[in-house]
Every structure is written in structure tokens, then in C-alpha cells.
Structure 1
Amino acid sequence: MKESTPEIHKKEAKKSFSFALITISTSRYEKYGNPSLPEEAEDLSGKAMKDLLEAACHKVSFYRLVSDEKTSITDAVFAALDSSTDIVITSGGTGLAPKDLTIESITPIFEKEIPGFGELFRYKSLEDIGTSVILTRAVAGVIKGKAVFCLPGSPNAVKLALSEIIIPEAGHIVRHVKE
């Protein structure tokens, strides 16, 4: 049986990547400041992402906890982009509350959007959370030749996004954004 183009691309892609994780939470930031690991801030979503990535033989080379403020968010994203990471993932601040500013902070700096990510994430979330899936504004895009994913802050949401979308497609995504 002949392999399809996506399978060929995945097979040819690098297998291990470096990730930057940014957790966006004003209350957690006010309580813990600038921890170097998610465990130091009781960051369950950050820890879940770190554990999933490391279990898949990827490296977490950057971690930052920031408040829900546009400048803090964009500064952290640019710091991550300037580090030796392949993919940046944010968690938190994607909802509809007035303090949720992740999407307003990051989407204006996207050079390209990856609309299929948000669509697929919401589709896969439907079984778990039902029609309240309409409340998430999870998105992805490309900035400075690196993929940036903006995820909700719940541990279940980050586990779903990483295990079912981001980790399986990491090589394919990185290969395309760097071409």
C-alpha cells in the first residue's frame, strides 16, 4: 500500500522538539512570581504539558508564568520566540471574561494563522464539554518561523490539545513553518 503525502511528511520530520510553555494567570502570578518550573507555582496545566511533552521525548526549554496583561503576555511570547524553541504554547486567558487577553495580545502578531487548529480543538472538545465549547477561543499561528498555540487554562484542555493534536503533528508543523 502506498503512503499518503501527510504520512511521508511526518516520517521525514525531525522527531524531538524544544517547547516553550507560558502560563497566563494573574492570580497565580501574584502568588508565585517568576517560578522556573510549573511545579513551583502549583501550575497544573503547565505541569501536564511538561509531563506530556517529556513523555513524548520532547524538551521543555522555556517556562514562564505571567499575568493577564497584554504587555506581559507579548513580552513572554517574544522571549520564547527568541529562545531556542521550536514551538510555543500558552495556556490561559482564552475565554470570554474581560480579563482574558491572550487572544487579543497574540493574534495581532501572527504572521499566518492556523485556523484548522482551533476548529479541530473545538471539535474534539465537544465530546468532553458539550456545547460550552463555543466559549473557547483557542487559536494557533506562526510568528518568526515558529508555531504558537494558545490553549485554555484547564488541565483537561491542554492534555487534549497536546496528546491529540500538537504532539502528533509537531514534526509536520515545524517542517512547514521553517520551509
Structure 2
Amino acid sequence: MKESTPEIHKKEAKKFFSFALITISTSRYEKYGNPASPEDADDISGKNMKDLLEAAGHKISFYRLVSDEKTSITDAVFAALDSPADIIITSGGTGLAPKDITIESVTPLFEKEISGFGELFRYKSIEDIGTSVILTRAVAGVIKGKAVFCLPGSPNAVKLAISEIIIPEAGHIVRHVRE
């Protein structure tokens, strides 16, 4: 049987990447300031991201904890774009509360949106959270040749997105954004 184009692209793509992780949480930021790692901030979702990615052979080259403020979020994204990271993942601030402004802060920076990510994430989340899935605004896009994923702050959401979508597609995505 002939391989599909996505299968060929995945085989030809680099296998391991460097990631930038940004946790968006005003309460954690006020309590911990600028920690060097998720462990230093009692950041469960950040630690889950780090552990899942490292277990798959990837490297964490950047970590930042910021408050739910537009300039803090965009400054962290720009710093991550200037880092050696191939892929940037944010966690938190994607809900419907007035303070949840990650999407409003990051999506205007997108040169292209990866629409299928949010669609697939919500589809896969239905099994865990049912119709509450409509409350998630998880998105992904491309900024300056790097994929940027904006995830909810829930540890389960982080695990699902990283294990079932981001890690399996990382090589394929990076290959295309760098073409």
C-alpha cells in the first residue's frame, strides 16, 4: 500500500524538538514571581508539559510564568520566539472569564492559524468533559516560522493536547512552517 503524503512528511521530518513553555496564571505569578521551572512554581500543568515532552525525547529551552495581562503574555511569546525553541506552548487563560485573555493576546500575532488543532482538540475532549467542550478556546497558529499552541490550564487538557496531538504532529508541523 502506498504511503500518504502526511506519512511521508512525518518520516522525513526531524524527530526531536526544542519547546518553549509559557504558563499564564496571575495567582501563581503573584505567589512565585519568575521561577526557573514549573516545579519552582507549583505549576502542575507546566510540569505535565515538561514531563510529557521530555519523556518523548524533546528538550525544554524556555519556561516563563506570567500574569493574565496582555503585555505580559505577548512579551513572553516574543521572548519565546527569540529563543531556540521550535514550538511554543502556552497554558492557561483560554476560558470565558473576563481575565482569560490569552486568545485575544496571541491570535492577533498569528500569520496563519492552524484551525484543525482547535477542532481536533475539542473533538478529543468530548469524551472527558462532554458538552463543556464548547467553553474551550484552544487555538494554534504560526508566528515567525514557529508553531504556537494555546492550551487551557487544566492538567488533563494539557496531557491530551500534548500526548495525542502536538507530539504526534510536531515534526510534520515544523517541516511545513519552515518550508
- TM normalised by structure 1 equals 0.99
TM-superposition CA deviations, 1:95-136 (whole Å, max 9, x none): 000000100000001000001000000000000000000000
- 1:12-161 equivalent positions in 2, closer than 5 A: 12-161=12-161
**Mapped partners of 2:6, 2:99: distance in 1:** 39
Query: What SS does the aligned partner of 1:51 have?
Result: helix
Query: What SS does the aligned partner of 2:100 have?
Result: coil
Gaps spanning 5+ residues in structure 1: where? none
Pairwise CA distance, 1:76: 0.1
Gaps spanning 5+ residues in structure 2: where? none
Pairwise CA distance, 1:31: 0.1
Pairwise CA distance, 1:3: 1.3
Runs (4 or more) in structure 1 with deviation over 6 Å come to: none
Query: What SS does the aligned partner of 2:8 have?
Result: helix
State the identity %.
Answer: 89
1:4 maps to what in 2?
4
The code of the aligned residue for 2:161 comes to A
The code of the aligned residue for 1:103 comes to I
Pairwise CA distance, 1:141: 0.2
Pairwise CA distance, 1:5: 1.0
1:173 maps to what in 2?
173
**Mapped partners of 2:39, 2:128: distance in 1:** 26
**Number of residue pairs matched by the alignment:** 179
TM-superposition CA deviations, 1:45-93 (whole Å, max 9, x none): 0000000000000000000000000000000000000111100000000
Query: What SS does the aligned partner of 1:23 have?
Result: strand
**Mapped partners of 2:141, 2:149: distance in 1:** 7
The code of the aligned residue for 1:146 comes to K
Query: What SS does the aligned partner of 1:131 have?
Result: helix
Pairwise CA distance, 1:154: 0.5
CA-atom RMSD in angstroms: 0.4
